[in-house]
Amino acid sequence: MAELARELFAEFANAYARGERPEAQAFLERARGERDELARLIERFLQGVPAPDAGPEDAALLAAWLGTEPPLLELRRRQGLRVDEVVNRLGAALGIDAKRQPRLKWQYQRLEGGTLDPARVAARVWQALAEIFAAPARDLAGPWRAAPATRAAFLRAEPATSAAIPPTSGDPDPDDEIDALFAGSPGS
């Protein structure tokens, strides 16, 4: 067995045993030329261990994915947080002063509403949101569209929209630093 694959597999398995949700893709990217070997190890491991129990938060978020609100919005609401509270805490964590927060709020609401590509959002934004929500916010973000009503699914081809996503004010003044945090290059 290749040395790097063995080390990365041990790290993955230990994280899983601690109750974390290690991302296999991140480990595979680190494996370089030993990617196939590591993929086989992870696959065999996951086939042999019981799936982690879903907690009430997981069940609620699954319902959100299948329902009428984006999961990140559902998480914020379940925790009783207002958008402005999240934006203030996010701004403090990212070192963004209050006068620049309208643009931060605009970008955050786009992320929460599922209209931004999560792969382009900076890792430090995800880290700050994970701390704010005490949950893996990155796992909840992504393109999102409300599940259409059963009747509408057969009558219309256009996607349903959700009244649950609060309208954002017009596009505030651009801010290169904030925009780069939410729409930078993948892996930034």
From first to last of the 188 residues of the chain, give the pLDDT tens digit: 589 999 999 999 998 888 788 888 889 999 989 999 999 999 999 998 887 766 656 665 666 666 667 888 888 888 899 999 999 999 999 999 999 999 999 999 999 988 888 889 999 999 999 899 888 888 777 665 554 544 444 444 444 444 444 444 566 778 889 999 998 755 44
pLDDT of residue 28: 92
- Read off the tokens for 87: 């934006």
* Identity of residue 154: F
Same domain, 9 and 81: no
- Domain residues for the domain of 22 are 3-48
Same domain, 16 and 90: no
**170 in a structural domain:** yes
Cα separation values, 25 from 36, 42, 43, Å: 12, 10, 12
Q: What is the pTM assigned to this prediction?
A: 0.57
**62 in a structural domain:** no
What is the DSSP secondary structure assignment for residue 149, as one 8-state letter?
Answer: P
**167 in a structural domain:** yes
Same domain, 110 and 160: yes
Does residue 186 contact residue 120 with C-beta atoms inside 8 Å? yes
**59 in a structural domain:** no
Q: What is the total count of domains within the chain?
A: 2
pLDDT of residue 155: 45
What is the DSSP secondary structure assignment for residue 99, as one 8-state letter?
Answer: G
Same domain, 39 and 94: no
Dist. CA 25–CA 146, nearest whole Å: 27
| Percent composition of the chain: helix, strand, coil (DSSP 3-state, to 5) | 60, 0, 40
Same domain, 81 and 145: yes
Same domain, 176 and 102: yes
- Read off the tokens for 18: 């601690």
User: What is the number of other CB atoms lying within 10 angstroms of the CB of residue 47?
Assistant: 7
**55 in a structural domain:** no
**86 in a structural domain:** yes
